[in-house]
Amino acid sequence: MSDFTHPIVGWLIAIVTILSILGCFWLIFANNIKKVEGEIESTGHVWDEDLEEFDNPLPRWWYYMFIFTLVFGLIYLALYPGLGAYKGLFGWTQIGQYEAESAEYDAKYSDLYAGYAATAIPELAKNTKAMKSGERIYASYCTVCHGSDARGSIGFPNLTDDDWLWGGTPEQIKASIMNGRTANMPARGGLPLTDDEVENVTDYVMSLAGRDVDQTASDLGKQVFGKICLACHLPTGTGNQALGAANLTDSSWLYGSSRSAILETIKNGRTGVMPAHGEFLGEDKVHLLSAYVYSLSH
């Protein structure tokens, strides 16, 4: 209710609500015929030939129940927000309730998470109950990018295989989630390569992964690779986890396996970003999540 831009809106709601309740009171008292003298008259309405409507007074239980609901409404409106900007005697708010519940939740589960945090990741990954909570945290914070099955998609790595950009040891996984990761694959390897050189090195990269390529182009591309690309991807092309430089010799491609996707990466570069979650989730939850991610591939 505090969102109203003009205070008059709050007042209007309060006045209309109170008038409606008073109107209901009037209606119920005005129709409260206690005793009926003599015979009850028919209203003259007849259905199905002989079903007549009589002008009977309200049954007592009905009448008292009506009064009860009206009194209940008044007490409710006195205690809780409902009358425009009036906050209610209890001072209840949705945000207040949410905060109280989260505090209660944290108090209840922080011990549990702290217990998990004291367990080594490979061991924790075998704890079915812990992995159930890990799965829930994963579903809330990670599915948007890595998918509900953690198999990722173009630009978002698969977390269920044993191919790691930044490393798959418990410590490396935890570091990826805690501090985030920013990959830097410079366009054309950071040097002014010609378009031909980019085409050739693309063939060479594909040959590293055992694909069929134009041998002459690949041989020329090998020289380019030996000048720049090895600095990050190593002379063997197997990559460097310290830099998040992808392994180019396997069949798993972060940005797609087609020649055009590989060419696009080399031509324009890529900067995949994994956001840091440490501050936001707290180390204990990240520890549990790391064990969950570890369990997916082990």
**Given the rule CB under 6 A, which of 64-72, 79-87, 103-111, 270-278 is the region that contacts ligand HEC?**
270-278
265 binds ligand HEC (CB under 6 A): yes
Q: How far apart are CA 208 and CA 247, in angstroms?
A: 10
Q: Which is nearer to ligand HEC, 84 or 116 (CB)?
A: 116
Nearest to 256 by CA among 152, 144, 143: 152
Look up tokens 């063997």; give the residue.
236
Q: Which is nearer to ligand HEC, 84 or 189 (CB)?
A: 189
**Given the rule CB under 6 A, which of 66-74, 83-91, 105-113, 184-192 is the region that contacts ligand HEC?**
184-192
Surface-to-core class of residue 264, CB atoms within 10 Å of its CB (0-12 exposed, 13-18 middle, 19+ buried): middle
**Given the rule CB under 6 A, which of 44-52, 65-73, 126-134, 243-251 is the region that contacts ligand HEC?**
243-251
Provide, rounded to whole angstroms, the least separation between the CB of residue 191 and ligand HEC: 8
Surface-to-core class of residue 103, CB atoms within 10 Å of its CB (0-12 exposed, 13-18 middle, 19+ buried): exposed
Q: How far apart are CA 185 and CA 271, in angstroms?
A: 6
Q: Which is nearer to ligand HEC, 93 or 238 (CB)?
A: 238
Provide, rounded to whole angstroms, the least separation between the CB of residue 106 and ligand HEC: 18
Provide, rounded to whole angstroms, the least separation between the CB of residue 118 and ligand HEC: 20
The single residue among 186, 249, 278, 283 that binds ligand HEC, judged by CB under 6 A, is 186
124 binds ligand HEC (CB under 6 A): no
Cα→Cα distances 166→91, 174, 262, 297, Å = 50, 11, 20, 15
- Binding to ligand HEC by CB under 6 A, coded x per residue (else -) over 194-233, reads -------x---x----------------------xx-xxx
Q: How far apart are CA 264 and CA 50, in angstroms?
A: 86
Length reported for the chain:
298
272 binds ligand HEC (CB under 6 A): yes
176 binds ligand HEC (CB under 6 A): yes
156 binds ligand HEC (CB under 6 A): yes
* Closest-approach residue to ligand HEC (CB): 272
Cα→Cα distances 165→257, 274, 275, 277, Å = 16, 11, 15, 18
Which residues are within 8 A (CB) of 139 and not within 5 positions of it... i.e. 6 or more apart?
Answer: 148
- The set of long-range contacts for 277-280, using a CB threshold of 8 Å and a minimum separation of 24, is 277/141, 277/177, 277/178, 277/180, 278/177, 278/178, 278/179
Please report, as ranges, the residues that interact with ligand HEC according to CB under 6 A.
141-142, 144-146, 155-157, 159, 164-166, 173, 176-177, 181, 183-186, 189-190, 201, 205, 228-229, 231-233, 243-246, 248, 253-255, 262, 265-266, 270-275, 277, 289, 293
